[in-house]
A and B are shown apart, each in its own frame.
Chain A
């Protein structure tokens, strides 16, 4: 992936800081490290685009209640397995409307099967509006409101952007809510691995010697364990009467039990490399204290690498959570995560009947790709002084 991003042919135009400095000397000679990193990051178009996607995903996660047009739990047997509602700009008379709209629906009973079937009622137009009143919700469990970012004003109109599930719940709204758990479980899990990783990796790299060798063997041991059975075993051991919160945190802990190894290795590698850097020795010879060397020299020079490594670890966690939940061993009803949503797509019949149930899988793909590209870009920009 990094190869692809690196191949963006901008080399002759915007090379490393060295040559850039010559072109815009006045500007860049006082450019701070973070500005140089930004310049370098910006050259990776794909990474920049991915960063936008990642930010959007986290905005969605943060404001799920507001962004989802419906209450994700609102059931309606009449709306079971609705296919995604079409959005129109032209009405039945061929007239163009700047504001998109959906048609109303009429239901007809099929005379042969006696099943209710739906058809567009092209005489009724439900315009899609911004900031409409709809299902009431409690933002972050605190603020009571019923304003949604977008939707149709008529509560009876069918407005299912990605179709609905067996209970007639709006899949789009459920995916939006699922974003919150799926994206945050990666983040929380990574933060936890980060703490373990930075401590173990730091100790390993800083002390070196026997400590390093022992810790390296431990890391190799942990890494060599097949993750899926381990997760399955641990997850299956969780008591079934635990609350969503308890399960959520147990799952993140289980995920980070493995995830820390990669981070520990990054930290160790950087610490070992830094120990050899002349500027660390120069600082020591200038009388700078050990604490100050660590805080002012070492931490800033590997912070960017760590952030990149963290970003690259998030998608692993997302995939792991999805896999566990899909298998029914991770989060479960009534929690909503992409993995939980995908459970609905487990049997072939419902997938054949309602292929849109696979949409949460699409979200997993999008988020994982975006985070990976973003992380690649960060990693390449982490050391703007190379080349």
Chain B
């Protein structure tokens, strides 16, 4: 894990550890015994973004917008319908994750790991910590026996758990502690990229900050790159370098965190930001309450998927789907009116 450090300093343009192009995942909706396909859920539709080595990229959006599906496609827990996922670990040739099979996929997964949202269902209750944290090590034949115990102890210590707990079962631990076990597991093989799918949303508020700090410390220590999936914008503002905003399976805006929060370019981002609790109580009055339903990914509206809920919508929004365009500032947004509107951020 020492190789990415110097690289990051040497180059001014950070290396893209992950380059996602046109990623789509459609789930068929079928009826009857013959499973005739009547519709498609476009859970992820033509998603393009990249991740810089060493950064934390936030993936935000309302429930059902396809964040989890995107994250799972990146790790190939799901097979994408279309698109490329170019992974460049730095020390070896970049690969297209979307095209990998069998052994190559297994090799890749050493470098990409996942932290799950639910620390209860993601740990087999019938396994001890040693088995759980050691599972990847055993699966890859990295270590066994005494060496395995030593490594597991080391991993447990690195996430702030006592190695003596190794023989215990997960039921003896609280949600926060379990999430640490999940993190230790994800880090067992020294991955370069970790996809954290709402890693703190199932936790008590009191242990959220702790867990986020742990993630930040580990990132520093192990030069990790994070994709941080969340719907909690205040957390995202706190820990992410850049943010991808998704709506109904599509990317609507990509920006550096500071830019995004101070001057959003997409009306949907503005609406999300207006819902973030603010220190200034007067500002709360300006909250934009989104009307209507979240667009149904099985039956998306014509034109811009967001137009039925958008206060700025014009005719063009109803008729034409806007492309994801790069503005002069270098920021990307999917809105016809991006150049005309001046939207309110926070602060």
A residues with CB within 8 A of B: 17-18, 21, 25, 28-33, 36, 209-210, 213-214, 217, 277-279, 281-289, 292, 297, 300-301, 385
Contacts and interface: CB of A to CB of B under 8 A. Distances in A.
Contact of B126 (A21, A284, A286, A300): A300
B20 to A, nearest CB: 18
A29 B139 contact: no
Contacts of B168: 29-30
B33 interface: yes
B24 to A, nearest CB: 21
A385 B172 CA distance: 11
16 contacts: A28-B172, A29-B168, A29-B171, A30-B172, A209-B35, A210-B35, A213-B33, A279-B122, A282-B122, A285-B75, A285-B77, A285-B114, A286-B109, A286-B139, A287-B139, A288-B138
B326 interface: no
A128 B171 CA distance: 54
Interface in B117-145: 118, 121-126, 128, 135-136, 138-140
Given A29-B168, A29-B169, A279 B123 contact: yes
Nearest to B76: A285
Contacts of A210: 33-35
B124 A285 contact: no
A287 B109 contact: yes
Contacts of B126: 33, 300-301
B172 A282 contact: no
Contacts of A278: 116, 118, 121-122
A284 to B, nearest CB: 7
A30 B165 CA distance: 9
Interface string B74-86: 0101000000000
Given A279-B122, A287-B136, A301-B124, 9 more contacts: A21-B172, A29-B171, A30-B128, A33-B126, A277-B121, A278-B118, A281-B77, A282-B116, A285-B114
Nearest to B30: A209
A219 to B, nearest CB: 14
A281 B115 CA distance: 11
Select the residue from A213, A281, A283, A287 with max chain B CB neighbours within 10 A. Answer: A287
B113 interface: yes
A314 to B, nearest CB: 26
Interface in B44-79: 75, 77
A283 B135 contact: yes
Contacts of A385: 125, 171
B139 A214 contact: no
A30 B167 contact: yes
Ranked 9 nearest A-B pairs via Cβ: A29-B172, A278-B122, A287-B139, A286-B136, A29-B168, A385-B125, A278-B121, A279-B124, A288-B139
Contacts of A17: 171
Contacts of B75: 285
B70 to A, nearest CB: 15
A292 B124 CA distance: 14
B314 interface: no
A284 B185 CA distance: 13
A282 B114 contact: yes
B77 A284 contact: yes
Nearest to B172: A29
Contacts of A286: 109, 135-136, 139, 185, 188
Select the residue from B35, B122, B126, B140 with max chain A CB neighbours within 10 A. Answer: B126
Interface in B165-193: 165, 167-169, 171-172, 182, 185, 188
Contacts of A36: 171
Select the residue from A21, A36, A210, A279 with max chain B CB neighbours within 10 A. Answer: A279
B287 interface: no
Nearest to B75: A285
B125 A287 contact: no
B110 interface: yes
Nearest to A21: B172
